[in-house]
Structure 1
Amino acid sequence: MDYLNTFKKIKALAETGLVYAQNGYEVERNQELVDLSKELMAAIANEPIKAFDTYYLPPKEYPTPKVDVRALILNEDGEILMAKEKMDGLWSIPGGWADIGHSPSEVVVKEVEEETGIEAKVERVLAIYDKRCHPHPPQPWYVYKIMFLCIPTGGKLRGNFDIDEARWFNLNSLPPLSTDRILESQIKELVHLANHPEFPVVCD
């Protein structure tokens, strides 16, 4: 049984119920579900229940997945642009959470420049992943990942306040990866898709 996914489903159902509750009875029952899902997550993570309070802000609207946008950028030698995260000291292709007020392609271009110093433009979408379908570490949120192929247009490699450094890597000598953000299998699939524009977008 996928306990983490069960927790996410219970959480989403309960929060939806709270949004649309018509009376005190419905509020009470859905709040019980919220509390149960919090207990389940705490048990899975072996952490105190209060550690998950920030994931249970009072719902204002129908809960939906979070969206992570990331860019595969290759240089003339076929090397992959990667950024080293200060948070965990591990590497990922550049990207991050989608921002309200910006399209996915606008966000990914902004993230690339902010994290690596490289200016880029979007070529096309390579894949749309459901994080649940891949062996990422457990995470409370339900996440969709939009993976873009971007073309470098200028700029100079650098880090920023949350990135130690940015570098180009050969596919056969990847650095230690931040597997919460990207997996080696995903990078290999994205490079394969980038080299075959006739292939359709991969969707989970």
Structure 2
Amino acid sequence: MDLRWLEWAKQIQAISQNGLAYSKDIYDLERFEQLRELSIEILNEYSDVEPALIRELFASETGYATPKVDIRGVIVKEDQVLLVREKADGGWALPGGWADIGLSPKEIVVKEVEEEAGLKVAPVRLLGVLDKKFHHHPPSPYHVYKIFILCEAVSGEAAPGIETSEVGYFAEDQLPELSLERNTPEQIRCLLQMVRNQETESLLD
């Protein structure tokens, strides 16, 4: 499936957002606003999403346009990886979520794992920083960096949270149906291999 239109729409949106943030000329501001409207029209034409929702989720941010950051915790026990079942789509994922302003990546992964899986963890090692566009995720209106952090469980019992319905440990060859928006089978298998071999360098796209 050719998704060049999606990349074009995201680039146009980023250019318009940056222009609206820094331009002072009233005519330039009008042109950048027209570009933003064009990006909304492109997404509306090629997707089933209502224009109002596109504007709210895709074209309402201000300031310099930067990628979103998704942080995931990797907890392994007896060569099995901890996954949580997301209520949003029913798929399984490494516990995690969007980065929060004011918190470091370590603080975010600790918070997210406890909220989604019931465990208190200690971050151990950065496993990778991946660009979502290079991996087999569903199309997204956002440019996303995904950070994977190896964590060690220090206390608590595995239990679902507000956004999750189940928690479990899974072997590499017995992965459940994954939430591909959040992680892919290839990513999880690669991360497990890195955990087995501590000398492996961190992944970096």
Short-chain TM bin? over 0.9
What's 2:69 paired with?
67
Structure 2: gaps of 5 or more residues: none
Superposition deviation, residue 187 in structure 1? 0.3
Query: Does the CA contact (< 8 Å) of 2:114 and 2:121 recur in 1?
Result: yes
Superposition deviation, residue 48 in structure 1? 3.1
Give the letter for the 1:153 counterpart: V
Rate the CA distance shift 1:198–1:58 in 2: closer, same or farther, 3 A.
closer
CA distance in 1, matches of 2:88, 2:140: 16
Q: Which moved more, 1:164-173 or 1:47-56?
A: 47-56
Give the letter for the 2:190 counterpart: E
CA distance in 1, matches of 2:61, 2:25: 17
Query: Does the CA contact (< 8 Å) of 2:71 and 2:97 recur in 1?
Result: yes
Give the letter for the 1:87 counterpart: A
What's 1:110 paired with?
111
Query: Does the CA contact (< 8 Å) of 1:5 and 1:132 recur in 2?
Result: no
- Counting aligned pairs with the same residue, the percent is 38
Rate the CA distance shift 1:47–1:114 in 2: closer, same or farther, 3 A.
closer
What CA deviation, in whole Å up to 9, does each residue of 1:54-109 have, x standing for no partner? Answer: 122251x211111000011101x111100001111110010000111110011001
State how 1:33-182 maps to structure 2 within 5 Å. Answer: 33-54=35-56, 55-57=58-60, 59=62, 61-75=63-77, 77-182=78-183
What's 2:16 paired with?
14
Aligned with 2:186: secondary structure?
helix
What CA deviation, in whole Å up to 9, does each residue of 1:172-192 have, x standing for no partner? Answer: 101110000000000011111
Query: Does the CA contact (< 8 Å) of 1:113 and 1:120 recur in 2?
Result: yes
Aligned with 1:74: secondary structure?
strand
* TM-score normalised per structure 2: 0.95
Rate the CA distance shift 1:169–1:196 in 2: closer, same or farther, 3 A.
same
- Note the aligned Cα RMSD (angstroms): 1.2
Query: Does the CA contact (< 8 Å) of 1:91 and 1:176 recur in 2?
Result: yes
- The aligned length equals 202
Superposition deviation, residue 44 in structure 1? 2.4
Aligned with 1:189: secondary structure?
helix
Superposition deviation, residue 29 in structure 1? 0.6
Structure 1: gaps of 5 or more residues: none
Alignment of 1:31 onto 2:33: yes
CA distance in 2, matches of 1:58, 1:66: 12
CA distance in 1, matches of 2:189, 2:9: 30
Superposition deviation, residue 147 in structure 1? 0.6
CA distance in 2, matches of 1:74, 1:147: 13
Superposition deviation, residue 195 in structure 1? 1.4
Give the letter for the 1:180 counterpart: E
Q: Which runs of 4+ in 1 moved over 4 A?
A: none
